[in-house]
Each structure stands twice: as structure tokens, then as C-alpha cells.
Amino acid sequence: MDSWEWNKIFGAILGTLIFVLVVKFAADAYFEPTPPAKPGYVVQGVPEEQTASTPTAPVEEPLPDFGSVLPTADLAAGKEISHRCEQCHDLSKGGPNKIGPNLWGVVGRDRATHPGFDYSSAMVGDHNPWTFGELFRFLKSPQAYVPGTKMTFAGLRSAQDRIDLLAYLRTQSDNPLPIPPKGATATETAAKPADKK
């Protein structure tokens, strides 16, 4: 092949490339994308907090008004839920400590004070009484509420489940903690502002 032949071959290749580029430019110009009026990824009806980041961060949940919700709670449902605790806790009067301490009378009991149980240092960090509010928050996510606790229970997400359970646990006592008057929960929260960091 002499150089003339090569020139023809290169010319043909170059011509093809130029043709492809021209077609591409024309197509881009013709089909120029226009931004959609609405972004397509907004899912209607999904609250923003669900799509936001850090889904594992415990969200500060308002306390229910125990004076209103406890008297109407479903004790049978609460008892049913308490079976999940029995995997680690004995609930009966004078019962033994198991993986966790005996829970007879735990509602109103001072934290980490049940005799004979070897609490984690996280749990003995304070001995405030287990009020309805404390238990409500603790049982949602034990490890988030008492970081370092050895209670390896994921928690009860549903507020109603926790209310039913607390109403039942309250009855498992020689001396049930009185149900606070309606509207009193706000006082409990306000009374202990430095409670949780």
C-alpha cells in the first residue's frame, strides 16, 4: 500500500468520526433536557423525618398523659407483652433474679436496687425511682436510654404497647404506684429537667 491508500483510509475514518460528532451535536441540541417542573423523587405522604438522615438517633418522644392513658390501657394486652420480658425477668413476688433482676413492684422502685442482682455500672449510675415516664422512655430503647446497660432487649417501639405493659406491671406490686392525676405528666417532666442529657 502506498501513502495515497493510507490517506484514503484515514480520510474515511476521519469523515466517519466527524459525521458521528455532528449527528450527536444535532441530537443533543434537539433533545435538550428540560428540568421537570417537580423533582420526581419526592414521595407524597412520607413525613420528612422518615427520609431524613440518622434514622437510628432516638427522637425525643413526648410523654403521654399517664393520668389519661393508664386507666384506659389494655391490661390483658400488657400481660401478653410482659411474656417477652420473662425470657430474662421473673415477674412474680419473691421470684428469683434471672438474666435480669426480679421485676415484682418495679414500677416506682428505685433504679438498680433489687437485692442480689449484679447491675451494670451504667444502671447504677443513678437510683431515681422508675416512674411511668422513666420506664416509658427506657423500654422504648433500653440501650439508648441507659447507654451501656446489659439489658440486651431491642425495645418496644409502639407507645401503646408500652402504656399497656406499664399499666399491667403497675399491678404486679404489693403497693401499686398511684396513677397520676390527669394532666400531671407535664409536671413530672418539668420537675426533672436535668434528668437526661
Please give the residue ranges that form the binding site for ligand HEC (CB under 6 A): 84-85, 87-89, 99-101, 103, 106, 111-112, 114, 119-120, 122-123, 130, 135, 139, 149-153, 156
Is residue 90 within 8 Å of residue 98, measured between CB atoms? yes
> In the structure grid, which three cell numbers stand for residue 42, read together?
419526592
The least CB distance from residue 171 to ligand HEC, in Å, is: 13
The least CB distance from residue 144 to ligand HEC, in Å, is: 13
Is residue 192 within 8 Å of residue 111, measured between CB atoms? no
The least CB distance from residue 49 to ligand HEC, in Å, is: 25
Is residue 129 within 8 Å of residue 135, measured between CB atoms? no
The least CB distance from residue 162 to ligand HEC, in Å, is: 8
Give the C-alpha separation, 131 to 114, whole Å. Answer: 16
* Locus of grid cell 429537667: 193
**Residue 60, Cβ density class (10 Å: 0-12 exposed, 13-18 middle, ≥19 buried):** exposed
**Residue 94, Cβ density class (10 Å: 0-12 exposed, 13-18 middle, ≥19 buried):** exposed
Residue 107 or 180: the one with the smaller Cβ distance to ligand HEC is: 107
Residue 28 or 126: the one with the smaller Cβ distance to ligand HEC is: 126
Residue 89 or 170: the one with the smaller Cβ distance to ligand HEC is: 89
Residue 26 or 144: the one with the smaller Cβ distance to ligand HEC is: 144
Residue 49 or 174: the one with the smaller Cβ distance to ligand HEC is: 174
